[in-house]
Structure 1
Amino acid sequence: MQMETFHWKKNQQLSEDYIAGKDAAKALFPYHFGREEDWQARVSWLDGAAGSPRVDRKRLVDTLHAYNLRVGNSGAAMRHIDALGDAQTLAIVGGQQAGLFGGELLVLYKAITILQLAREWSHKLQRTVVPIFWIAGEDHDFDEVNHINVLSNTQHIEKLKVDHPTGLRTSVSRLPLSAEAWEEALNKLDSALMDTEFKASLIANLRSATEDGATLSDAFARWMAMLFGEYGLVLIDADEPGVRALESSMFEMIIDQNESFAGALLRSQSDVSGAGYGIQAEIQEDGANLFTFAEGQRLLLHRESNYFADKKNLIRFSKDDLRDLATRKPERLSNNVMSRPLMQEFLFPVLATVLGPGEIAYWALTKQAFEHFHMRMPIVAPRLEFTLIEGTIKKQMDKYDFTINDVLERFDEKKQAWLDAQDTLRLNDRFDEVKESFRSSYAPLVESLSAINPGVKKLGDTNLAKILEQIDYLHHKANEASHTQFDAAIRQLERIRLTIFPLAKPQERVYNGCAYLNRYGNAWLHSLIETPIPVDGLHRIYHL
């Protein structure tokens, strides 16, 4: 496996500084992933945190068993679930929304990071550390997860998507898709992918994942089980009714202490802004940090005096009513980005949580909320990042002398420089010389016309500008004609850019993994899982 590290600056300064170990950012978290003694300190805290609210482990094991069996997870995953019944077992947890056909490549990389850390710390601690992937099926932003991007053979980024089945703003996990909708999406993907030896089995596996009126969450979980189940990755869907039942008592605490919970979040927000960082998620003083399901929708709650209501006042609860809902019908409640970290800590003995740059920035807002509920934020570990470079792309980069930095920072400039170097006729220089020669001989003549008549001088100025404009026009057309000789080269250069920096974003945030699984099978994915890779916050270029 050929791989090289590369520093790709994060789009969040707080995350960038946290990964680099800068004091201002580190102070916003109780531990730092780069210090081994912090990992040991986290283990000690988990072992001794008797006052921290925790779910009953047997109920957790039973619930995870039922869900993972339903989505077809492996025996290795089931053994890991059983291990969670032991008080000595710890967990590495990370998650993502349930994207179509697995979502973007970064989802795969997050799962790989979870598996890497679980294996590493199981070995170092000589106790079981279980890898857990949290599927955010409760999220209601359907348009964020209903599509994938693939790079077509004609060098266009194609967006393949499924339509919302109802139009109601509710959790993705509560929106079954019809067999016809799934078949249409699979046919589009089939058409977009080149024919390879792996294609038939890939499409067949995806078709299996989407059977029986699957929601995006169902299909996502089945697909993740196919890709990572053999490595023991345990799956949990946040919107499973069984999971909601486990969360009941934590919902009650959040409701009972809602004002002080919001106050703790505001104090952490002040700490983050005081350290000089922007705020990733705005905290509302009257925010309940909970959703409820009503009127077929997922509605965000806020406090109004002694009541909880949505912004449109479609529903309204007293605190007692909402507490009663948490006790009797917890499936009607749902976490937001601020309460989810606390719920994760309530459910699992989290040694570390695996987060992307944006997530690291908003988790910084929860430090004091953890402490308020007698918890402690786990170690925050940055997910692994990769850019996949195929052999043909590497050859083209070498041919045109392009580096990753060239693609990211100066692509157009470098491309133009290469084209200019092919200009054996010296068109740019010769046209510039003609313009200068014409201007130097014609401009004085025009200037002298003012002695005859100012109107003639003005006409001369206009005439000079038009002639120069026509010279520029011919220059442009000559360059276009010259560049047609290099159409193949231009296509190759554009392919480099579309591979590494599509839509001016990292590859892992745009493309879906199916195109790479189709071209290369699963071997590259298994290699990333099985080869020890340090979780250090660096970006890696992986040569396929």
Structure 2
Amino acid sequence: MRLEEMQLHTSPFLEGYSNGDAEVVRFFDYKSPYDKHEWTKRQQELKRYSFPRKGLTDYLTTYNQKIGSSAKTIENIQKLNAEESLAVVGGQQAGLLTGPLLVIYKCISTIQLAKQAEKELNVPVVPIFWIAGEDHDMDEINHVMVPKNNTAKKVSLKSASNVKSSASLWEWDSDEVQPWLKEVFSSFGETAFTSDLVAETERILKDSDSIVTFFAKLLSKWFSEEGLIVLDSGDPSLKKLQSSMLKEMIVHNKAIDEAFNVRTEELCTSGYSAPIEIQENNAHLFYTKNQERILLYRDEEGFSSKEKDFTISESELLEEAINHPEKFSNNVVTRPLMQEFLLPVLSFVAGPGEIAYWAVLGKVFGQFNRMMPILTPRLSFTLVTTGVNELLQSKAITVKQVLENGTEEYKREWYAMNRPIETYDTVQSVKAEFTSSYEKLIRLAEDIDPKLLAVADLNLKRILSEIDYMENKLEQRVRKKVKEPLAEFDEIMLQLKPTGILQERVWNIYQFVNEGGSFLMNQLVQYPYQFNGKHKIVYV
């Protein structure tokens, strides 16, 4: 495996945050995500807070044993019982076959940052992946993108229900999912690794009762030997630990919303767009009724659905928070607060969009006399297979050029230097000249014996067909010289920057493991990366 780094300019806000731009970092409590001195500051800050460590470790042990985690993960969970222990947290919605590559990169980032912090601070620091199992947007998670017919094709799995229940509650029949799985691997193509990979994935699928369990088991398979702890935010067993914080969110609901609104307006005044939509009287909490998640809004009676077809008083909602915390779930504003209440978060590993929405949460945290954790931009990668690297070398272009500019410009330059020889006009001219000259033979045949006209006509057609045959051969050579290389530019673009966006947001890790084998994942997770804001180009 070979690594190169480059500076990508995909998100001005992320770039400003990474570079310490005063107009950006003022929205965060820790201004220098790559400065290890910030770790010490955060470590001291966390000593002010208490966490439900016993209940947390009991839950995490049970859940991670359920998904087949290793002894290393269980050992890390037990470390959380120590008052000085800390966590590096990353998270994402559950996705089929682990979702897009960026999910894998979040796991790798979380694992590596935890190791670096533990070495630096000399206290236990464990990596935790927070599965957003509460989310109910199935269209975001029910598919895998595969390369097909020179484009990125979505292979979707139909949801069993249209009800807006959390992903953790989306149960499925694994036998019904299996045809979808076979279609996906068929799209990847048959390699020396396919058979074993499919068999192992089918085994895991068969033991999974939902998309979240399937996702969690796959993360455990790939990362539990590195000690990654997996947490499902939609698990009712975890929600039992959340009652006291839910009560705080209900009692201080208006203050949370106002703090969020004020910070969002400040961000917009600075010239950045609002990362989260402002909705009047949004309670930033969901309540589940009849397995459907209902986003709550404040009103004169307490709380209600947007359509007012569900209402509940504040006192009733507080009682529900105490007796039935499993009925509640957080939205994008309150989820970080709940995470902060449950876990001793040294740093949260965030993608560009997440860093933008954390920027509007500072005053929300302030309502609870807390500081936001250190926001560490996750590692960002582009994987380059041997085949794609060979294509790049044949065109004398680099991955950096493709990521910055695409391939169209280089495609046009290549075409201008390798413009094809025109065959059609020449062939048509030869056929016309020959037909004209052949008229002399036809007249001669008619003078000798009119019965020869049929023979002469048949002979002309045969000769013209031979010229057509030659034309086809010429065209084949032209296509091979020009059209195939042009198609190779398109293949480079498809693999490295599909639909014009970064590979990590589209392709799935199983596409690459199917081609290169399972040891690819070991190489990716164990390479000693630097957290420096630069994009990693990995030749595999």
TM range (shorter): 0.7 to 0.9
Q: Distance in 1 between matches of 2:25 and 2:153?
A: 40
| 1:192-207 pair list within 5 angstroms | 192-207=187-202
Amino acid in structure 2 at the alignment position of 1:120: Q
Alignment equivalent of 1:237, drawn from 226, 232, 236: 232
Contact 2:90 2:350 in 1 (8 A): yes
SS of equivalent to 2:533: coil
TM-score, normalization by structure 1? 0.86
TM-aligned CA deviation for residue 271 of structure 1: 2.5
Q: Distance in 2 between matches of 1:500 and 1:190?
A: 20
Q: What residue number does 1:90 align with?
A: 86
CA contact (8 A) 1:209 1:220 kept: no
2:318 aligns to what SS in structure 1? helix
Distance in 1, Cα, partners of 2:71 & 2:170: 29
Task: Name the CA distance, whole Å, in 1 between partners of 2:164 and 2:15.
Answer: 34
Q: How does 1:91-490 map to 2 (within 5 A)?
A: 91-152=87-148, 155-212=150-207, 214-408=209-403, 409-423=405-419, 485-490=481-486
SS at match of 1:279: coil
Q: Is the 2:420–2:482 Cα contact (8 Å) retained in structure 1?
A: no
How many residues get paired? 488
Q: Which amino acid aligns with 1:101?
A: L
CA contact (8 A) 1:98 1:217 kept: yes
Matched residue of 1:210: which SS? Answer: helix
Distance in 1 (CA, whole Å) between partners of 2:16 and 2:407 is: 27
Instruction: Return the alpha-carbon distance in structure 2 between the equivalents of residues 424 and 253 of structure 1.
Output: 72
In the alignment, which residue of structure 1 is the partner of 2:60?
64
Distance 1:344 1:327 in 2: 18
User: How far does residue 16 in structure 1 lie from its aligned partner after superposition?
Assistant: 2.1
- 1:15 matched to 2:19: no
- Of the structure 1 ranges 84-93 and 27-36, higher mean CA displacement relative to structure 2 is found in 27-36
Q: Deviations over 1:395-420 (max 9, x none)?
A: 21121122234424252122011011
* Shift in alpha-carbon separation, 1:480–1:294, aligned structure 2, 3 A: farther
Gaps of 5+ in 1: 428-477
Distance 1:171 1:282 in 2: 21
Q: Which residue of structure 2 lines up, in the alignment, with residue 26 of structure 1?
A: 25
Q: Post-superposition shift, 1:17?
A: 0.9
Q: CA deviation at 1:338?
A: 0.3
Which whole-Å CA distance do the structure 1 matches of 2:54 and 2:6 have between them?
44
In 1, the alpha carbon distance for the partners of 2:406 and 2:159 equals: 40
Aligned mates of 1:512, 1:181 — CA distance in 2: 21
Query: Could you tell me which residue of structure 1 aligns to residue 45 of structure 2?
Result: 45
SS at match of 1:246: coil
- 1:484 CA drift (Å): 6.1
TM-fit CA distance, 1:201: 2.5
- How much does 1:203 deviate? 1.3
Instruction: Find the counterpart in structure 2 of residue 494 from structure 1.
Output: 490
Q: Where in structure 1 do 4 or more consecutive aligned residues deviate above 3 Å?
A: 424-427, 478-485
Residue 359 (structure 1) shift: 0.5
* TM-score, structure 2 as length reference: 0.87
Aligned-pair CA distance for 1:384: 0.4
1:419/1:483 contact within 8 Å kept: no
Contact 2:420 2:478 in 1 (8 A): no
CA shift digits 1:502-534 (9 cap, x unpaired): 011100000011011111122222122212111
Deviation at 1:479, TM superposition (A): 11
Q: Tell me the alpha carbon deviations over residues 263-298 of structure 1, each in whole angstroms, 9 at most, x when there is no partner.
A: 111222133123321111023341100011113311
Structure of higher CA gyration radius:
2
Contact 2:95–2:211 (CA under 8 A) maintained in structure 1: yes
For structure 2, the 5+ residue unaligned runs are 424-473
SS at match of 2:372: coil
Letter in 1 for 2:298: R
Contact 2:407/2:490, CA 8 A, preserved across alignment: no
Change (3 A) 1:479 1:195: closer
Question: 2:325 and 2:106 mapped to 1: Cα distance?
Answer: 29
Secondary structure of 2:119 counterpart: helix
What's the secondary structure of 2:508's corresponding residue?
Answer: coil
Partner of 1:354, secondary structure, is: strand
CA contact (8 A) 1:266 1:285 kept: no
Q: CA RMSD in A?
A: 1.9
Question: Amino acid of the residue matched to residue 26 of structure 2?
Answer: A
Q: Is the 8 A contact 1:142 1:164 kept in 2?
A: yes
Are 2:267 and 2:360, in contact at CA under 8 Å, matched by a contact in 1? yes
Conserved? CA contact 1:68–1:78, under 8 Å: yes
Cα gap change, 1:5/1:325 in structure 2, threshold over 3 Å: closer, same or farther?
same
Q: 1:9: how far off?
A: 1.6
Gap change, CA 1:220 and 1:532, over 3 Å in 2: same
Q: Give the superposition deviation at 1:36.
A: 2.1
2:525 aligned with 1:529: yes
